A and B are shown apart, each in its own frame.
Chain A
Amino acid sequence: MMAAVLAATIRLPFLLIFAAVLFAAGVYGVLARRNAVLVLMSIELMLNAVNVNLVAFSAYLHQLTGQVFALFVITVAAAEIGIGLAIVILIYRNRETINVDEINLLKW
């Protein structure tokens, strides 16, 4: 039983392609969505794809550095979404809209 657990393997490209699907969906979401909260959610999706890659390579190389960096990425993502949603709420309070193509005050 223990030997079977230790011999357990998984194909590396499976995880990487899963991460690629998440990343591509995030890219599409960032480009195609108007609602700022949905754009932020798509960004979270892309950060998660990066985390899957980091953890997959950490398991592949038997080094912990990838997992530690995935933890840092999760922390920075939490900070990013906190600030981002605060900005979105402030914009909604001032402009009554959070559509990113209507917020063009600084656009040349």
Chain B
Amino acid sequence: MTAQEIVFLFLAAIGGFGAIRLVTSRNVVHAALYLVVTLAMVGGTYLLVAAEFIAWVQVLIYVGAIIVLVLFSLMLTKAPIGRETLDNQQRGFAFLIGAGVLAGLVLLIQGEFGGKRISLRPVTTAQVGVSIFRDFVLPFEVVSVLLLAALVGAVVIARKDEGPGEPPERRVPLLGRREPTVTPREGVRR
């Protein structure tokens, strides 16, 4: 048992506990905070296998940005509390499927990679950058277009529409357009 394995078991115990509490917690805000714990432990695991760049990306994007998004949406949707409002009636079935997935994966992993060891070798950010921009330039650009599309889409979807009762002529006129001449009907309304 090397020192790395002892540290990893510590991180994995906390991370696994956070993951299980995340899916069983009765309070959505607590669930979001358990997600923070799990994501931070996953980031620690990345550091442990000497993948520093992806570890900091994990901390920045997941622990920094995604958790804030989740907490904001919990706040905007009035975060209900209680098992009956958070869980459906398929808990036993879902537990069976989850346990089956876990058992199958563990059997498969032990059978295929039972005694294999990772010999850790530090990976610098420069190496990752060279790999991205030498071998994966096109996927990188595609992903940036995807992010732009997702950004625009999220804004369009979540934007508040104007109220259904407002007639179209009461919208704010475009900049630079001349004020329309006042018809008698509008003059009465003003």
Contact = CB atoms under 8 A, between A and B. Distances in A.
B85 A99 contact: yes
Question: Chain A, interface size: which category?
Answer: 35 or more
Contacts, number: 258
A9 interface: yes
A71 interface: yes
Interface string B13-46: 0011001101100001001100100110010011
Majority DSSP secondary structure for residues of A touching B = helix
A17 B111 CA distance: 12
A24 to B, nearest CB: 4
Question: Chain B, interface size: which category?
Answer: 35 or more
Interface of B: 2-5, 8-9, 12, 15-16, 19-20, 22-23, 28, 31-32, 35, 38-39, 42, 45-46, 48-51, 53-54, 57-58, 61-62, 65-66, 69-70, 72-74, 76-78, 80, 85-88, 90-91, 93-95, 97-99, 101-102, 105-106, 109-110, 113-114, 116-121, 123, 127-128, 131-132, 135-136, 139, 143, 146-147, 149-151, 153-155, 157-158, 160
Interface of A: 6-18, 20-29, 31-35, 37-38, 40-42, 44-45, 48, 51-52, 55-56, 58-60, 62, 64-65, 67-68, 70-72, 74-83, 85-90, 92-93, 98-99, 101
